[in-house]
Amino acid sequence: MPLVTTTEMFKKAYEGGYAIGAFNVNNMEIVQGITEACAETRSPVILQVSKGARAYANHTYLTKLVEAAVIENPEIPIALHLDHGPDFETCKSCIDGGFTSVMIDGSSLPFEENVKLAKRVVEYAHDHGVVVEAELGTLAGIEDEVNVSAEDSSYTRPEEVEEFVTRTGCDSLAIAIGTSHGAYKFKPGTKPQLRFDILKEVEKRLPGFPIVLHGSSSVPQEYVEMINTYGGAMPGAIGVPEDQLREAARMAVCKINIDSDLRLAMTGTIRKYFAEHPDHFDPRQYLKPARANIKAMVMHKLIDVLGCNGKA
Ligand code: G3H
Ligand code: 13P
Ligand code: ZN
């Protein structure tokens, strides 16, 4: 099947009490590792591309890699999504360039400006058969060019969501309930806890409407230890507990964003490989186990965390 939008995926996910994995892609091995896992578990998937990914790998290379994945895996629904679109022009360029979904991230703007920007993107996107994710509330952490400190982050205010969704016409809404970007999400020694009370309140105010969670890597300690053992330094890296993501997926959360965990699996595997094979210098030798470990990790997420296996 050709690339799809997220409309049908989210409808089924909402009704079925599971979530779709949205994984960031930057190169061929990452695309392959993710989509092989999805094909093997018959899971629908969102492949998402950030502004930084487009700057690194180029729009054409990335869309062609995703197109190749669509051809190689005709049995699974795949959506191609712009992650954290910073402005109208970037969203337009992705809509014109074959994406089926875009995010406009106006979360750092005042409410009225966020509404205005999101509405403009929605109008253009809908005219072109593309769906739009918008965001209310600010996550802490580091994205490509945006570095939000914990003090400047803010939870989504449930009393604003109906007005925002009605006025913008967006198709899904990312909210802030305690997740954050990157590998250092919670202070070591504290108990990670998402604000399910806010999620419940949002769900009550927007019945049937798909909610998105960014910053949802779990930071597997297996890979943090691998990185630290083989020359890296990532002390105190902590992610979102998997059982809390599972709980969110049973509720209104239909899309769960994961990037950092892919980076950890790839980096840990390559560091270990280099340490164990100091004489090897063929990139295929170390990218192959890195791709295999991305696949294994994504399979675990699809089956044990998101619950979307078998839903393709
Ligand atoms: O939310 C951010 C994603 O992890 C993408 O990161 O902007 O460094 O590509 P990036
Ligand atoms: P992580 O940094 O937790 O993987 O979040 C990724 C993300 O939200 C991409 O938009
Ligand atoms: Zn994000």
The string of pLDDT tens digits covering residues 214-273 is 999 999 999 999 999 999 999 999 999 999 999 999 999 999 999 999 999 999 999 999
Which pLDDT band holds residue 185 (cuts at 50, 70, 90)?
very high
Q: What pLDDT score was predicted for residue 141?
A: 75
Residue with CA nearest ligand 1 atom 10: 144
Which pLDDT band holds residue 143 (cuts at 50, 70, 90)?
low
Q: Is the CB of 54 under 6 A from ligand 1?
A: no
Average of per-residue pLDDT values in the chain: 96
Q: Cα 137 to chain center, whole Å?
A: 17
Residue 153 pLDDT exceeds 90? no
Residue with CA nearest ligand 1 atom 2: 143
Q: What pLDDT score was predicted for residue 140?
A: 76
Mean pLDDT to the nearest integer, 128-145: 85
> What's the rounded Cα separation, in Å, for the pair 86 and 78?
23
What does R_g of the chain's alpha carbons equal in angstroms?
Answer: 19
Q: What pLDDT score was predicted for residue 250?
A: 98
Statement: the pTM of the whole predicted model exceeds 0.85: yes
Q: Is the CB of 259 under 6 A from ligand 1?
A: yes
Mean pLDDT to the nearest integer, 203-220: 98
DSSP 8-class letter at 303: I
pLDDT digits (tens, 9 = 90+) for 86-110: 999 999 999 999 999 999 999 999 9
> What's the rounded Cα separation, in Å, for the pair 39 and 312?
9
Which pLDDT band holds residue 135 (cuts at 50, 70, 90)?
very high
Q: Is the CB of 143 under 6 A from ligand 1?
A: yes
The minimum-distance atom of ligand 1 relative to the CA of 144 is: 7
The answer to whether 83 is a known catalytic residue is yes
Residue 142 pLDDT exceeds 70? no
Residue 196 pLDDT exceeds 70? yes
Among residues 198, 295, 196, 183, which one has the least CA distance to residue 245?
A: 196
> What's the rounded Cα separation, in Å, for the pair 199 and 207?
12
Q: What pLDDT score was predicted for residue 273?
A: 99
Q: What pLDDT score was predicted for residue 63?
A: 98
Instruction: Please give the single-letter amino acid code of residue 112.
Output: E
Q: What pLDDT score was predicted for residue 48?
A: 98
What is the distance in A from the centroid of ligand 3 to the CA of 37?
22
The minimum-distance atom of ligand 2 relative to the CA of 213 is: 8
Q: Which one of the listed residues 83, 105, 171, 259 is annotated catalytic?
A: 83
Instruction: Please give the single-letter amino acid code of residue 195.
Output: R
Which pLDDT band holds residue 144 (cuts at 50, 70, 90)?
low
Mean pLDDT to the nearest integer, 20-49: 98
What is the distance in A from the centroid of ligand 2 to the CA of 143?
8
Pocket (CB within 6 angstroms of ligand 2): 24, 83-84, 181-182, 214-217, 257-261
Which pLDDT band holds residue 149 (cuts at 50, 70, 90)?
confident
